Amino acid sequence: MKSIRPHLFAVVILLIPTVFLLLFYIYPLSAILKLSFAPQGQLDLTGLTRLVTTDYYLNTLWFTAWQATLSTMLTLIVALPSAYIFARYRFTGKRWLSALATIPFVLPTIVVANAFTVLLGPRGLINQNLMILFQLDQPPIDLKHTVFLILLAHVFYNYAIVLRFVGGFWANLDPALTEAARVLGASSWQAFYHVTLPLLLPVIGAAALLVFIFCFTSFGVVLLLGGPRFATLEVEIYRQTINLFNLPLAATLSLIQIGFMMSLMALYSRLQRRSSRPLSLQSQQATQRWPETMGERLLVGGNLLVMLILLGTPIVALLLHSVTTRHGLSLVYYQTLFDEPIRRTTLSVAPHEAIFNSLMFASATVILATMLGLLTAVSLQRGQARPNFKLLYRLLDGLFMLPLVTSAVTLGFGFIITMNQPPLNLRTSPILVVIAHTLVALPFVIRILLPALQAIQPQLRESAATLGASPSRVWREVDWPLIKRAMLVGAVFAFTISMGEFGATVFISRPDRPTMPTAIFRLLDHPGTLNYGQALAMSSLLMVVCIVGFVMIERFRTGEDEEF
């Protein structure tokens, strides 16, 4: 009887997050499926037929695929040399530079799009300086609504994936493997090609596929930088829903998006398992060294300079532009965010109310996501510890990861078509925004908490129980002290995700309750110097919040060193 009780407890605590997932994830996706194939209650393939026979939608799918492919190739070309530098060399400020390289990945996509607009747009920093320098009347660089700007933003956004995935794995590869090849007569290039590269290929493939997935589902970057000329599947779902209200076609597009994402994530999981095979790994203290020759110093310095220019200039440009007016440097755009009387010409509320809304939504998301994430992680950890139920709980683990492979735009669309009638009539409720943000954040919280729980030695719990501690006391005095840092990391991650979430929020947020990303989008959508300045100021504030959140994650994550 005692052996059954832990399993029953795991099942009971898993019920709450499972019901949440069924109501707010499975149900909306099933409604999308129904709307795609049976919009009038009976089988109707008109939407699918129109999709595959209309050049516009085929071109949209083609653009989505080829821009993601090209973005992935460019990211690999730019980031792999830096992955090698960070893997094999020590240099001053390495930890801070690694953190800087990761900051773009945690920024909201709408902030990234804004940063590149103020850097390379017609009124951007580079064009303004070139016009002054060469006394020009028109901007010499015209990249507005071009593919180049989209590709550059994607490289900026996904650079850290390749650097962290490949660099982290490469740093722990045993140098003795290539040294043995050199002893046998192989040149340095031959040793790399025949020894190192085959070991790196699985992790390079996994990183490349993850970059491809993020570019394939790109929404905010393409919506703002692509303008009316370019549209990915995500952007087209948004336009068909919001602008044309063609819900059956939007549902069919969403279904195709889901199918692609499921296939890509299955392939990603396979590549990740291959990269996790046992290898001869070493501590980074043993694999890294200071650059010695002039060539090595130039190699390290040149790569770091490229990285700083690529990743640093858009951030600096955004911050600088937000404090620049016709009369020089000023904080006027920041001041107008909080000034009274309230301006209601562009937004239905004052800009500072959007900031307040984001903070409230993010706080509620932290509570809900960490609570559900903790219940799920505890249940999965206890269930997977029982050999007879290990496969079942692995399947449940995959089920809770499904929101990660579903685009936020698809989630938002699913809410529009399901949350507008009893008993889930939440379409006008701010709770729906919190639910959407929680769905996006929940897989990350689970992935942070589950390894921390699995790392606890069972003997610690058994010893406490042998000494007479109750299950609640074992949890309080053994488990909690060991996972509270991971819990804090998960909470900060959920807060940061909620603050920057745009894809689902743009569908479901009410005009009188905008978040910071939706307010930025609306301000940019209306011409005017003040609107543009306020959008930049709010983007900068959102960027600072995300950077602070990332610094806190780096500070509180378990493990101070970077060992494998």
Give 10-residue mean pLDDT values along the chain (564 residues). 56 86 92 81 72 82 94 95 89 82 84 90 85 84 88 94 86 73 72 77 87 90 88 89 82 84 76 57 65 88 91 91 86 84 60 90 95 90 69 76 83 88 83 94 89 80 78 79 87 90 90 90 84 90 86 64 36
- Measured in whole angstroms, the distance separating CA 91 from the mean position of its chain's CA atoms is 29
Look up residue 289 and give its two tokens. 């060294």
Residue 371: name the closest of 453, 491, 477, 471 by CA: 491
CATH number at residue 281: 1.10.3720.10
Domain count, the chain: 1
Residue 193 lies in a domain: yes
Residue 436 lies in a domain: no
Residue 423 lies in a domain: no
Contact 561, 95 (CB under 8 A): no
Contact 3, 386 (CB under 8 A): no
Residue 292: name the closest of 300, 304, 284, 281 by CA: 300
Residue 302 lies in a domain: yes
Residue 107 lies in a domain: yes
Contact 557, 489 (CB under 8 A): yes
- Per-residue model confidence (pLDDT) at position 10: 64
Residue 91 lies in a domain: yes
Residue 84 lies in a domain: yes
- Per-residue model confidence (pLDDT) at position 366: 95
- For residue 311, give every residue at least 6 positions away whose Cβ sits within 8 Å of its Cβ, in sequence order, or none: 100, 101, 103, 104, 156, 159
- Per-residue model confidence (pLDDT) at position 281: 54
- Per-residue model confidence (pLDDT) at position 334: 92
Residue 74 lies in a domain: yes
- Per-residue model confidence (pLDDT) at position 342: 46
**How far is it, in rounded angstroms, from Cα 470 to Cα 420?**
46
- Per-residue model confidence (pLDDT) at position 468: 78
- Per-residue model confidence (pLDDT) at position 384: 66
Residues spanned by the domain of 212: 64-313
- Per-residue model confidence (pLDDT) at position 546: 84
The values of phi and psi at residue 280, to 5°, are -80, 100
CB atoms within 10 A of CB 248: 19
Task: Give the global pTM.
Answer: 0.85
